[in-house]
């Protein structure tokens, strides 16, 4: 039925000269503008916001990197302190071993010293 209506419509149109047919076929259509979702000011604000967020993110990452570096340095210093404390403990043990009365008496005999009780003075202990 729609095909018949078209055929009758096409048949009923009068024949126009060539230049009139071309004008009739090209109706002037107003340009359709795409709706603007954001104005220029809003775009600028979005750009500024993105820059601020990026700068905060970069500053946070930089701070985290510095914290990590300082943490590693602290751990290294703590290891060094532990090592020095262990060395000090070992040295204290050696001092206590070498300062025994028996060992001192043996070293004195090796060096040819003798015990003279007249020269011995008693000093109160610590």
Report whether 24 contacts 16 (CB < 8 A): yes
pLDDT of residue 65: 97
**Phi and psi based region of residue 99 (left: phi greater than 0; alpha: psi -120 to 50; beta: remaining):** alpha
pTM over 0.85: no
pLDDT less than 50: residues of the chain: 21
pLDDT of residue 88: 97
Report whether 46 contacts 38 (CB < 8 A): yes
3-state class (DSSP) for residue 87: helix
pLDDT of residue 3: 53
pLDDT of residue 113: 85
pLDDT of residue 122: 79
pLDDT of residue 26: 55
pLDDT of residue 84: 98
Quick one: how many helices (H) and strands (E) in the chain?
A: 4, 0
pLDDT of residue 99: 87
CA atoms within 13 A on the CB side of 71: 6
pLDDT of residue 91: 97
Residue 11 tokens, joined: 């048949």
Whole-angstrom distance, CA of residue 9 vs CA of residue 7: 5
pLDDT of residue 120: 77
Whole-angstrom distance, CA of residue 21 vs CA of residue 11: 15
pLDDT of residue 48: 98
pLDDT of residue 19: 55
Rg, C-alpha atoms of the chain: 52
């Amino acid at each position: 039925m729609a095909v018949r209506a078209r055929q009758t419509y096409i048949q009923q149109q009068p024949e126009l000269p060539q230049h009139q047919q071309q004008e009739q076929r090209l109706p002037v259509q107003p340009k359709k503008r795409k709706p603007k979702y954001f104005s220029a000011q809003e775009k600028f604000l979005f750009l500024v916001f993105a820059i601020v967020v990026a700068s905060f993110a970069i500053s946070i990452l930089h701070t985290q990197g510095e914290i990590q570096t300082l943490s590693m340095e602290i751990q290294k210093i703590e290891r060094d302190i532990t090592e020095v404390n262990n060395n000090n403990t070992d040295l204290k043990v050696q001092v206590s071993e070498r300062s025994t009365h028996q060992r001192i008496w043996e070293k004195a005999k090796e060096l040819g010293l003798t015990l003279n009780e007249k020269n011995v003075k008693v000093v109160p202990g610590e």
